[in-house]
Amino acid sequence: MNTDNPQIAISQRVAKNTAALSLTQVARTGFNVIISLVVARHLGVVGLGKYAVLAAYLQIFQVLTTVGVPRLIIREMARQQDDGPSWFRRTLVSQMLGAIGSGVVLVMVANLLNHPADTRQALGIITLSLLPYAFSSAAESAFHAKERMGFIAIAQIGARMVQTVASVLALLAGHGIIALAWTIVVGQCLIAIIEIGVTKRMDIWSDFRVEWRQTAFLFRESFHFFLISLSVVVFTRLDVLILSQMVGEEAVGLYNAAYLIVRVVNFLSVSYSSAAYPALSRLFAKAQADFETFLSKSLLFGTILTLLIAILLAVAAEPIIGLLYAGEEYALAVLLLRVEVPFIIIFMWNALLANGLMASNLESRSVIVSGVKLAAGLVYYLALTSRFQTTGTAAAQLQCWQALPERFRTFFFTRQVYALDVTSLVAKPLAIGAIMVVALWVARRVPWPGLVAGGVILYVSLLVAFRMFSREDLGLFWQMVWPV
């Protein structure tokens, strides 16, 4: 094995960190799925809707807590490895201030919007989780920058397991959304304790002191990252917030039953793009050709994999929903899942290109894209939800991601970073996917296990026939995953 090849060395390191983050995402998503399924069966569709609303607000205010600092810190610490403790101090102080400010706003929002009393009380309780989240976010930024992401897996998996056990026991004991809110607080405190302990062992947390001038500088420099993160998280939870206000928490429960499956699949894109970000940042500054090769190969492999998953999920939507939720009240979720599966492919492209722009010091372009996407989201979600209710919300999600905003992102990337070979990266995989969809439709009377197995065999055969991979690609892929 040629370990002198920089592409192989980078790919192997990214693959190991992707494995660590994927394990974290699998555990986090798996634990969340367990909680959601127990909620769905013990509290019904309305209870699942309440839990989705709680998660939506929590994600938004966690982003407010971080004030956009993590992305900036990861990039700068990856480039300036010797100055880690100083960057960590600034990060921690900035995010503690962010936690205090966002906590006050969350309490105000919880009491102003049209939510039932128990939902408002639960939102007030999860405010207590924001300060420990600030500590853990600062620690995880340092782990990302130093490409030691295995520590994140250790902390997250251990704490989430405790939270899941506590949540399930609370639900089995007959408690509701209030008890779930307290388990969220406990879980976040455990994560913070573990990760801060690791930073001390790594000498990242040493000689701690408050540096107000440097913290103010960090706030200014991270402003674009903050706008990106805030607009993205508000956009990604806009569906739940608008649906809960316009239709109700029962509709949110149905929507979330389908979207939960999509979110489980998206963990791979999240993990890979996060693991690749430090490497992309370093390659852009030091080896432009390697940067272009690495990102293009990532987009190609990602498109091929997510396209296959999306098609198979559409084929097996009915048995999947039936197995997970076992109730006629969730019948609509089958249609919602089939509407939402293309989002898996779009999400992967968005994650990689967004990190590519930030690694290229073009985060201001992502601000524009995120702003356009948020504005488009308000229009699409309000219009389609009011007309078609829950199904309209699912359709609006796809329109928001694949229409004007993502064309802006691709335009900026192609004009200012490097020209993407769209034919190789998109056209050929979509042609293969179209052939596979037609074949599956013709054979639709075959039982779904045989349909899925036959679809996978056909897909791989088409990849070979269309010569999607060169021998070099296969060698790089093998050397990337084998050491993991």
Q: What is the pLDDT of residues 379-389, one digit of tens each?
A: 888 888 888 88
Q: Is pLDDT above 80 for 108?
A: yes
Which amino acid, 473?
A: D
What are the tens digits of pLDDT across the range 119-137?
Answer: 899 999 999 999 999 988 8
Tally Cβ neighbours within 10 Å of residue 2: 9
365's enclosing H/E stretch is: helix 363-402
The radius of gyration of the chain's CA atoms, rounded to the nearest angstrom, is 22
**In the chain, what is the straight-line distance between the N-terminal and C-terminal CA atoms, in Å?**
14
Which of the residue ranges 61-65, 216-220, 250-254, 402-406 would you say has the lowest mean pLDDT? 402-406
Phi-psi region of 418 (alpha: psi -120 to 50; beta: other; left: phi over 0): beta
CA 383/CA 393 separation, integer angstroms: 9
Indicate the SS3 state at residue 344.
helix
Distances (CA, A) of 366 to 129, 137, 411: 29, 22, 11
CA 222/CA 13 separation, integer angstroms: 27
Tally Cβ neighbours within 10 Å of residue 259: 23
All residues at 6 or more sequence positions from 52 whose CB lies less than 8 Å from its CB, including other chains: 240, 252, 253, 255, 256
Q: Is pLDDT above 70 for 426?
A: yes
CA 239/CA 262 separation, integer angstroms: 14
Q: For residue 344, which of 378, 375, 317 has the smallest C-alpha distance?
A: 317
Residue with tokens 């600034």: 90
Indicate the SS3 state at residue 418.
coil
Q: For residue 62, which of 245, 179, 227, 229 has the smallest C-alpha distance?
A: 229
Q: For residue 315, which of 461, 459, 448, 433 has the smallest C-alpha distance?
A: 448
CA 62/CA 450 separation, integer angstroms: 44
Compare 262 and 473 and report the one with higher pLDDT: 262
Q: Is pLDDT above 60 for 3?
A: no
Tally Cβ neighbours within 10 Å of residue 472: 10
Within 13 Å and on the Cβ side, how many CA atoms surround 382?
6
Residue 185 has a pLDDT of: 95
**pTM to 2 decimal places:** 0.66
Distances (CA, A) of 88 to 72, 134, 142, 156, 168: 12, 12, 7, 20, 36
Which of the residue ranges 159-168, 372-381, 393-402 would you say has the lowest mean pLDDT? 393-402
CA 227/CA 215 separation, integer angstroms: 18
What's the average model confidence in pLDDT over 278-304? 83
| Cβ atoms 21, 153 nearer than 8 A | yes
Tokens of 21: 């983050």
What are the tens digits of pLDDT across the range 243-278?
Answer: 888 888 888 888 888 888 888 788 778 778 877 787
Percent of the chain residues past pLDDT 70, beyond the cut: 83
Band (pLDDT 50/70/90 cuts) for residue 483 is very low
Q: For residue 163, which of 80, 256, 252, 58 has the smallest C-alpha distance?
A: 58
| Cβ atoms 394, 334 nearer than 8 A | no
DSSP state of 419: -
